[in-house]
């Protein structure tokens, strides 16, 4: 592994951290910096939106207002490089609080197709794979 590959891996890890931070803080301007302007995003496996960056960000703004708190833990990051492109598969664990005492948990994988840009690595495609949910029904019942 050479210095460039090490640097790329650090930058990609930072990109995934920025993604998680943006979603959890509902910072949609920061969220947009994770993606290329023409990126395709697909959260349909978990019942979420699918489309371009602006469309998805607008839908997430409304959807995530249902939650008082969320956390995204991203780990087990697998990166395959192909020149200035990379495929990334990373696990996520996501506890979400609807209101005190009402929360659920989910887990799965983020699958990113990344491209190196003048501004660093950006995702041109994100597909979320859902693996499991725990406590979903209880979180939304009185």
Cα radius of gyration (the chain): 15
Q: Where are the domains of the chain?
A: 3-139
Q: What pLDDT was estimated at residue 85? A: 98
Residue 83 banded pLDDT, cuts 50, 70, 90: very high
Residue range 3-139, CATH number: 3.10.450.50
| pTM (two decimals) | 0.93
Residue pLDDT, tens place only, 46-76: 889 999 999 999 999 999 998 999 999 999 9
Given a contact cutoff of 8 angstroms between Cβ atoms, the answer to whether 119 and 37 are in contact is: no
pLDDT, position 26: 96
Classify residue 44 by its DSSP letter. G
Cα–Cα–Cα angle for 82, 88, 91, nearest 5°? 165
pLDDT over 70, % of the chain: 100
Based on DSSP, count helices (H) and strands (E) in the chain, helices before strands.
Answer: 4, 7
Would you state the pLDDT for residue 99? 87
DSSP state of 117: E
Q: Are 132 and 108 in contact (CB under 8 A)?
A: yes
What tokens appear for 119 in the block?
């501004």
pLDDT, residue 140, reads 81
């Amino acid at each position: 592994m050479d210095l460039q590959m090490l640097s790329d891996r650090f930058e990609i890890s930072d990109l995934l951290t920025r993604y998680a931070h943006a979603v959890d803080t509902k910072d949609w301007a920061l969220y947009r910096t994770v993606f290329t302007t023409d990126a395709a995003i697909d959260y349909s496996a978990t019942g979420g939106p699918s489309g371009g960056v602006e469309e998805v960000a607008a839908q997430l703004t409304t959807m995530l207002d249902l939650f008082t708190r969320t956390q995204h833990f991203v780990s087990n990051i697998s990166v395959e490089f192909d020149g200035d492109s990379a495929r990334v598969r990373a696990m996520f664990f996501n506890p979400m609080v609807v209101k005190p005492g009402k929360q659920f948990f989910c887990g799965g994988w983020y699958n990113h197709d990344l491209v190196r840009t003048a501004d660093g690595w950006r995702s041109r495609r994100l597909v979320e794979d859902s693996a499991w949910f725990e406590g979903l029904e209880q979180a939304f019942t009185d």
